[in-house]
Amino acid sequence: MNLLECINLCKSYGNKEVLKDINLTIPKGKIIGLLGKNGTGKTTLIKLINDLLTPSSGKILVNGKEIGCESKKIISYLPERTYLDKSMTIDKVIKYFEDFYDNFNSNKAKKLLIDLDLDLSQKISKMSKGMQEKLQLVLVMSREADLYILDEPLGGVDPATRDYILDTILTNFKDGASVIISTHLISDIERILDEVIFIDKGRIMLQSDCDELRNKENSSIDEVFRRMFKC
Amino acid sequence: MLKKLLKYDLKSMFKGLFIFYSLSLFFGVLTRIFFSIEASFIMNIIAKVCSGVSISMIFNILINNLMRLWGRFKQNLYGDESYLTHTLPVDKKTLYLSKILTAIITLFVSIIVISLTLFIAYYSKENIEIIKTILLPVADAYNSTIIKILFAILFVFFLEFANILQSGYTGIIIGHRKNNNKTGFSVLFGFVVYMITQIISLLMIFITGLFNSDIMNLFFTNEIININMIKVIIYIAIIIYTISLFVIYFVNLKLFKKGVNVD
Amino acid sequence: MVMKMNYEFDNNIPIYIQLVERLKIDIISGKLKPGDRLPSVRDYALSLKVNPNTMQKALAELEEIKLIFTERTNGKYVTSDQKLIDKFREKYANELSNKYFLSMQSIGFNKIETINYLKEIGGKK
């Protein structure tokens, strides 16, 4: 059974169609890049999978079942914004995750945060935006999930942070789980991807194994993408 | 999971309300102290100021309670925090139920604190006598006690607030189904829903009036409310507000379960 | 046990092919000794900052050509067959030399001239 499946998925706001007839399957145990320019529907697709948007039509199945409690137990999601209650301290947030997610490994989270030199009794509102984003990444990667969905984890960060983020993803995801990473910065992450999905103007343009694509096109994924979308 | 959600919802609400509770009680005590010190002109002024502050703190508690509940509802279920709330392995019904229970519990506590402040600041033989002269005829007429009547009035007051609050929730839920100007629509729809419950209440009282000429007179004469009617009106209010609370609860739940569209 | 190595990868060539190449060099150069036990696929992948699936694919390829072997429960080992390693070493050296000769040829050196040139600069160093 496929881990995730989208069937004829559409989403529109009023007359504006944002996603058009998306058909997609995500297998187990793969790292997948969801690649597209800004404003092409990547975030919309991810929000639909995470129950933050309601589809206009079509279906999303996780392990064969519609999204709900069961899918949320096994999906660990990093949105592109800060979503924590800023009046809480880091300790409290860890407790919060521990309370709600059975698969949250709080020791791992604490260790990763201490590695970042963070004082766990600190209030989130006192932290810089960059630190808040790292905290969220650590929380998300400290869950032993079956599917990690990371929306633009590399958006607007410096090269050192980018390395930290990629390392944290690669070293912490659960063995056998799948990871979906959405980004428009392809060259930075393509070496860790198994598969890529190109999305443009709300449609899936291509889904392929990375190495097959490199062999076929005789160039990097980044170049294939640039050629395809002329940017 | 409900227990855990409730824990966080209540904590966040009481954290904000605590300061108003303390201030309200504090000024209640000050009012009492300054009024009890034998009247010099200045003491009297200070006492009146404290009394004024106590009363404004009481309104503060009510308004704050409502605004904070709505604010948290919006932020937690439709704002930035909703990205976490909706991805918790909890079903939508539990999310909504936790919000409603939080509303009921905080309103209940607020009303107790308000009553306590009033009691501390103004309890005296004379004031009790005033209340007695107002309520005793009512109580007598129905073989009831003043305490019971007082509780009934407080209960109606509580239901009224719960109703306003839940109408606001409906407004937020419907408003956020729109694609733009969500806040504006939230306020508009909330107001409309509240007005609808009020119109239905009036209608129900009117229908009761068909069987009770005293009540019918309310609509067509300028007569001051007579004692006989108070109890009937309290009963009707309790019944209608309770029904409307449940109806709106199920409507909201149904709308909420259809899914959200978070910005 | 996990070795820290920093490999740069070329995004134009399938990553697993580059990995196979790197590991081959590590074995024939003796960086990985005959009979050495390799880290687990996941650890190995993470130490090189690559996707575990890619590492798996590369190791399978190396197993195919017998440079490494799997012992049922204990993991993967570098082959102890020194002859085989030498054979790959020879082959690799051959490929490199041919490439070099070809490059030299493109700037007008024939084989003899190239060898003489090598001797000359080799002697200097």
Q: Which residues of chain B have pLDDT under 50?
A: none
B66 in any annotated domain: yes
B206 in any annotated domain: yes
Distance from CA of C9 to the nearest CA of A (A): 7
Round to whole Å and give the CA distance between B78 and B76: 6
Q: Which tokens in the block code for residue B162?
A: 């719960």
CA A47, A51, A54, A59 torsion-angle sign: positive
Round to whole Å and give the CA distance between B83 and B95: 13
Q: Is the pLDDT of residue C72 over 90?
A: no
- A228 secondary structure, DSSP code: H
Structural domains of chain A, count: 1
B102 half-sphere exposure, CB direction, 13 A CA radius: 30
- Top-confidence residue, C16 or A231: C16
User: Which subunits count as partners of chain A given 3+ CB pairs below 8 Å?
Assistant: B, C
pTM listed for this prediction: 0.87
Residues of chain A positioned with their CB less than 8 A from the CB of C57: 211
What local confidence, expressed as pLDDT, does residue B263 receive? Answer: 84
Q: Is the pLDDT of residue A134 over 60?
A: yes
B217 in any annotated domain: yes
CATH number at residue A168: 3.40.50.300
What local confidence, expressed as pLDDT, does residue C13 receive? Answer: 87
Round to whole Å and give the CA distance between C17 and A214: 11
Q: Which tokens in the block code for residue A215?
A: 């062999």
Distance between terminal CA atoms of chain A?
A: 37
B2 in any annotated domain: no
Give the other-Cβ count within 10 Å of A181's Cβ: 23
What local confidence, expressed as pLDDT, does residue B224 receive? Answer: 61
Residues of chain A positioned with their CB less than 8 A from the CB of C11: 187, 190-191, 214, 220-222
What contacts B135, CB < 8 A, 6 or more positions away? B146, B149, B150
Q: Which tokens in the block code for residue B118?
A: 């009033």
What local confidence, expressed as pLDDT, does residue A56 receive? Answer: 94
Structural domains of chain B, count: 2
Polymer length in residues for chain A: 231
Closest chain A residue to C55 measured between Cα atoms?
A192
Question: Do residues B67 and B17 touch, judged by C-beta distance below 8 A?
Answer: no
CATH pick for C15-80 out of 3.40.50.10860, 2.40.160.20, 3.40.50.300, 1.10.10.10: 1.10.10.10
Write out the E strands in chain A. 4-13, 16-26, 31-35, 57-62, 65-66, 75-78, 147-151, 178-183, 195-200, 203-209
Residue of A30, A215, A222 lying closest to C14 (CB–CB)? A215
A129 in any annotated domain: no
Distance from CA of A113 to the nearest CA of B (A): 20
* C13, C19, C25, C26 alpha-carbon torsion, rounded to 10°: 160
Q: Is A28 at the interface with chain C, CB within 8 A?
A: no
Q: Are residues B143 and B30 in the same domain?
A: no
Question: Do residues B69 and B57 touch, judged by C-beta distance below 8 A?
Answer: no
Q: Is A113 at the interface with chain C, CB within 8 A?
A: no
Q: Is the pLDDT of residue C46 over 80?
A: yes
Round to whole Å and give the CA distance between A116 and A23: 40
What local confidence, expressed as pLDDT, does residue B205 receive? Answer: 80
A198 in any annotated domain: yes
Output the CA–CA distances (angstroms, integers) from residue C76 to C23, C33, C86, C89, in the order listed: 13, 13, 20, 21
Tell me which of A49, A65, A69, A91 to substitute to probe the interface with B (most B C-beta atoms closer than 10 Å).
A69
B78 in any annotated domain: yes
| Of residues B110, B125, B122, the one with CA closest to residue B59 | B110
Q: What is the pLDDT of residues A15-56, one digit of tens each?
A: 889 999 999 999 999 999 999 998 899 999 999 999 999 999
Q: What percent of chain C has pLDDT over 70?
A: 92
Q: Is A193 at the interface with chain C, CB within 8 A?
A: yes
Q: Is B260 at the interface with chain A, CB within 8 A?
A: yes
DSSP letters for A178-204:
EEEEEES-HHHHGGG-SEEEEEETTEE
Asked if A79's CB is within 8 angstroms of B83's CB, the reply is: yes
Report ipTM for this prediction: 0.93
Amino acid in the structure at residue B251: V
Question: Helices C15-28 & C82-106, crossing angle to 10 degrees?
Answer: 110
Q: Are residues B145 and B101 in the same domain?
A: no
What local confidence, expressed as pLDDT, does residue C5 receive? Answer: 44
B132 in any annotated domain: no
Round to whole Å and give the CA distance between B94 and C54: 43
Q: Is B3 at the interface with chain A, CB within 8 A?
A: no
Asked if A194's CB is within 8 angstroms of C9's CB, the reply is: no
Farthest CA pair distance, chain B: 65
What local confidence, expressed as pLDDT, does residue B135 receive? Answer: 77
3-state DSSP percent of chain A in helix, strand and coil, to 5? 40, 30, 35
Residue of B88, B258, B260 lying closest to A52 (CB–CB)? B260
Question: Do residues A173 and A114 touch, judged by C-beta distance below 8 A?
Answer: no
Q: Is the pLDDT of residue C4 over 60?
A: no
**Given the DSSP bridges, would you call strands A57-62 and A65-66 parallel, antiparallel or unpaired?**
antiparallel
Round to whole Å and give the CA distance between C62 and C55: 11
Q: Which tokens in the block code for residue B7?
A: 């824990």
List residues of A whose CB lies inside 8 A of any B CB. 13-14, 47, 50-54, 68-70, 72-73, 75, 77, 79, 81-85, 87, 96, 99-101
What contacts C1, CB < 8 A, 6 or more positions away? C39, C43
Q: What is the pLDDT of residues A61-113, one digit of tens each?
A: 999 999 999 999 999 999 999 999 999 999 999 999 999 999 999 999 999 99
Round to whole Å and give the CA distance between B103 and B245: 12
Question: Do residues B20 and B61 touch, judged by C-beta distance below 8 A?
Answer: yes
C contact residues 16-55, partner A, Cβ 8 Å cutoff = 16-17, 42, 45-46, 49-54
CA C110, C111, C112, C113 torsion-angle sign: positive
Please report where in the chains the tokens 């919006």 appear, as a residue: B74
Closest chain A residue to B81 measured between Cα atoms?
A83
Question: Do residues A77 and B87 touch, judged by C-beta distance below 8 A?
Answer: yes
Mean pLDDT of C109-122: 89
Round to whole Å and give the CA distance between B60 and B26: 14
Q: Is A174 helix (H, G, I), strand (E, B) or coil?
A: coil
A99 in any annotated domain: no
What local confidence, expressed as pLDDT, does residue B225 receive? Answer: 60
Q: What is the pLDDT of residues B95-144, one digit of tens each?
A: 999 999 999 999 999 999 999 999 998 888 888 888 888 777 777 777 77
Residues of chain B positioned with their CB less than 8 A from the CB of A99: 4
A139 in any annotated domain: no
Residue of B1, B81, B88 lying closest to A85 (CB–CB)? B81
Q: Are residues B63 and B147 in the same domain?
A: no
Mean pLDDT of A214-224: 91
Asked if A54's CB is within 8 angstroms of B15's CB, the reply is: no
- Top-confidence residue, A127 or B35: A127
What contacts A46, CB < 8 A, 6 or more positions away? A34, A77, A79, A149, A151, A180, A182
Q: Which domain holds residue B183?
A: 138-263
Q: Are residues B86 and B164 in the same domain?
A: no
C-alpha angle C71-C74-C80 in degrees, rounded to nearest 5 = 50
